[in-house]
Amino acid sequence: MLLLQAVLLLLALPSHGQDSTTESPGVLIPAPKGACAGWIAGIPGHPGHNGTPGRDGRDGTPGEKGEKGDAGLVGPKGDTGETGVTGAEGPRGFPGSPGRKGEPGEGAYVYRSAFSVGLEGRVTIPNVPIRFTKIFYNQQNHYDSTTGKFRCNIPGLYYFSYHITVYMKDVKVSLFKKDKAMLFTYDQYQDKNVDQASGSVLLHLQVDDQVWLQVYGDGDHNGLYADNVNDSISTGFLLYHDTN
């Protein structure tokens, strides 16, 4: 209430002063009619003191929206996420290229035993092993051409066979194993003819068992014959080796 009174007073004072200053000195103002007729204007008063500052004004209207600012700095790396669900199995790939050929196995040679041999002439001596000296095959040397005997190096089942040309005399021949005749073949020779006799057998042999052919019987039955175009041969080979 007191402040309002002061403001009103201040508003009133300049108004009076202004009237005094805007009017040039010496200008005659019509004298009011009445008791004060004939007065002379006084000296203008001193300017009043500055008033106290006014109240704060009202808030202004909001300004225009500013321009978009620069992008901020990259933030720190985040935490590792959880492992995702395992995906479905992919399609089957193409077949790979074939690998290198392996080295030859040792066992393949160990279990080889074979021979095939022939006569080079007539047999004249009976009751001794027949010596076949024409070698078709004797890679392992399990057949000995100096004795005419095959010696077993690999225990197992063996196949033996012989095909003999018979000429001039009958033939009685046996296949021997360990000094025992196992197989007998007899061919009667017919005059002015060339006959053949043959035989084959499977025998199980142990190491060092020997097998050979020999003319048997008391008589003169050694009509075994061979020349360049009429062979008499003996063959043998391992069919299965023993597994234990």
Ligand X SMILES: *[C@@H]1O[C@H](CO)[C@@H](O)[C@H](O)[C@H]1NC(C)=O
- With a CB cutoff of 8 Å and minimum separation 6, the contacts of 5 are none
Residue 191 found at the interface with ligand X (CB under 6 A): no
* Structure-token pair, residue 147: 């004795």
Member of 141, 230, 240, 242 binding ligand X (CB under 6 A): 230
Q: Residue 17, by phi and psi: left (phi above 0), alpha (psi -120 to 50) or beta?
A: alpha
Closest CA to 233 of 142, 137, 152: 137
Residue 190 found at the interface with ligand X (CB under 6 A): no
Binding partner selected for residue 195 from Ca ion, ligand X, none, CB under the kind-specific 5 to 8 Å limit: Ca ion
Residue 242 found at the interface with ligand X (CB under 6 A): no
Member of 120, 195, 209, 231 binding Ca ion (CB under 5 A): 195
Strands 143-144 and 149-151 turn out to be antiparallel
Instruction: Count residues near ligand X (CB under 6 A).
Output: 5
Q: Which residues pair with 186 in a beta bridge?
A: 172
Angle at 225 between CA 223 and CA 231, to 5 degrees: 145
Residues 138 to 177 in contact with ligand X, rule: CB under 6 A:
167
Per-position x/- string for 54-93, each x denoting binding to ligand X as judged by CB under 6 A, each - no binding: ----------------------------------------
Q: What is the DSSP letter of 230?
A: B
10 phi and psi angles, rounded to 5 deg: -65, -40
Residue 170 found at the interface with Ca ion (CB under 5 A): no
Binding partner selected for residue 194 from Ca ion, ligand X, none, CB under the kind-specific 5 to 8 Å limit: ligand X
Binding partner selected for residue 198 from Ca ion, ligand X, none, CB under the kind-specific 5 to 8 Å limit: none
Confirm if 196 and 166 have CB atoms less than 8 A apart. Answer: yes
Member of 22, 85, 229, 243 binding ligand X (CB under 6 A): 229
The site for ligand X (CB under 6 A) is made up of 167, 194, 227, 229-230
Residue numbers at the binding site for Ca ion (CB under 5 A): 187-188, 195
